[in-house]
């Protein structure tokens, strides 16, 4: 890929890259691994970086190339279950093409997240039981990357929002201006919010910094409740907290930031 964290907002990806490099990591993007040779205590990798062949030696090589569904040898042959690229095709209630057969979680496709699978399971069972339930809106599922600094997001990136035809208002607030982050000695990162300029809809939120994997749920609730910028700006955030950066980012989206 041409950048790390390709599903995240480009700006957040760039901040993460700078942070990782500052920690001493060497990162190559747009690179290819053409071969690996294992030695007794090392691995030699034949790489193609910026079109140039290189051979580098490492202690370990870790390969992570994605997720496939566990669909083999589970009796799907001869049924109405449809498999597409190793994932079982389901409708909004997790029903497959075979009556009485349901599929949830990684087996049913992305996003491959435990909290997505758990919520799908609840919806599926409620539907089977005949209870009133709701389809899962995957655009409201928060994603978290548990690195340092932490990264979390929900909804559309700025680029995706523009591609979908939205006129956007974008706000940012750095943790270096947040009192709690300074007190914790962890002021790296920022909160970024993307709003529809016409309706005030919160299109997406993107965060990098201390405990953002905990804070992202606030924006997830806002999207589920269809809150606009007005409700978020009028919400009182406690002080001193990291979450104040969320409030300030919303205010900045509309030119009303206070503490920066």
Q: Give catalytic residue positions.
A: 239
Q: Are 187 and 178 in contact (CB under 8 A)?
A: yes
Q: Shortest CA distance to 60 belongs to which of 76, 80, 81, 44?
A: 44
Q: How far apart are CA 221 and CA 175, in angstroms?
A: 22
Q: DSSP per residue over 95-117, as a string?
A: B-SSTT-B--GGGG-SS--HHHH
Q: What's the CA gap between 149 and 139, in Å, rounded?
A: 24
Please name the residues in contact with 66: beta carbons below 8 A apart, sequence gap of 6 or more.
Answer: none
Identify which of 31, 32, 29 has the alpha carbon closest to the alpha carbon of residue 10.
29
């Amino acid at each position: 890929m041409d950048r790390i964290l390709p599903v995240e907002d480009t700006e957040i990806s760039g901040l993460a890259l700078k942070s990782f490099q500052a920690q001493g990591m060497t990162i190559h993007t747009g690179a290819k691994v053409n071969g690996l040779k294992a030695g007794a205590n090392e691995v030699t990798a034949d790489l193609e970086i910026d079109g140039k062949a290189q051979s580098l030696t490492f202690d370990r090589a870790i390969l992570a190339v994605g997720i496939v569904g566990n669909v083999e040898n589970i009796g799907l042959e001869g049924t109405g279950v449809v498999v597409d690229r190793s994932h079982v095709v389901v409708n909004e209630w997790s029903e497959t093409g075979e009556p009485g057969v349901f599929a949830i979680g990684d087996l049913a496709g992305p996003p491959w997240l435990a909290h997505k699978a758990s919520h799908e399971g609840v919806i599926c069972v409620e539907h089977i039981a005949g209870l009133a339930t709701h389809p899962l809106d995957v655009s409201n599922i928060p994603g978290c990357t548990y690195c340092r600094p932490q990264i979390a997001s929900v909804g559309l990136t700025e680029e995706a929002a523009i591609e979908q035809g939205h006129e956007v208002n974008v706000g940012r607030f750095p943790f270096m201006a947040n009192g709690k982050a300074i007190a914790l000695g962890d002021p790296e990162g920022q909160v970024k919010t993307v709003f529809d300029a016409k309706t005030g809809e919160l299109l997406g939120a993107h965060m990098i910094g201390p405990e953002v994997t905990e804070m992202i749920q606030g924006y997830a609730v806002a999207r589920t409740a269809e809150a606009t910028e007005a409700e978020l700006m009028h919400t009182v955030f406690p002080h001193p907290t990291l979450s104040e950066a969320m409030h300030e980012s919303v205010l900045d989206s509309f030119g009303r930031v206070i503490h920066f």
